[in-house]
Structure 1
């Protein structure tokens, strides 16, 4: 591990993210994607990340935020990605056409 490599990064998503959205964000393939694409990070960095397309073409972009960084600031394939839930932000995933319960069911 190089001196600037992050050992662990804690990423948050909003508590009103749907179960499907949480599944997409927390699966190993998405964690691997983040380790390949994040690059340099700092606590407080925020961005929206596309996590999927529903059967009717609706997309879900999730607002993510870096909560903590352990070690350096460069995310590498060896960086551990952990998640925490933060306050709701009114996210609407557009999944009403797929579920009578709406985006948070």
Structure 2
């Protein structure tokens, strides 16, 4: 086992908006996670701020660590993958970004 995580799988809820998914899956957000997650274990949960919409609403996304390969320490060399888990009723207030509301 290495001292750092070689790969982590991070999940977000199925009802995260398209805009929210775009923000979370951007290379810059993955890089942010490799700098800020620190030590993780399977099942850890945390909310992460992903951006401010054009109306000033902010979106915090509940993320969960689904799997960790290697050691517990996330570093810049750790590969970050995503999975989608069950919906949790997340409301992002992104009606301006999407005509149908937060999940369209």
Q: TM-score, normalised by structure 1?
A: 0.95
**Aligned-pair CA distance for 1:93:** 0.4
Question: Could you say which residue in structure 2 is the equivalent of 1:47?
Answer: 46
Unaligned runs of 5+ in 2: none
* CA distances 1:57-95 after superposition (whole Å, capped 9, x unpaired): 000100000000000000000000000000000000011
Match of 2:36 in 1: 37
Select between 94-103 and 81-90 the one with higher mean Cα deviation.
94-103
In 2, Cα distance between equivalents of 1:96 and 1:13: 20
Where 1:36 maps in the other structure, the secondary structure is: helix
- Structure 1: runs of 5 or more not aligned: none
1:37-76 matches, within 5 Å, as 37-76=36-75
Q: Calculate the aligned-residue CA RMSD, in Å.
A: 1.2
SS of residue paired to 1:55: coil
Post-superposition shift, 1:24? 0.3
Contact 2:54 2:96 survives alignment (8 Å): no
Task: Write out the 4+ residue segments of structure 1 that deviate beyond 3 Å after TM superposition.
Answer: none
Tell me, what secondary structure is at the counterpart of 1:29?
A: helix
TM-score (norm 2): 0.96
Partner Cα distance (2:45, 2:25) in 1: 17
- Superposed displacement of residue 100, structure 1: 2.8
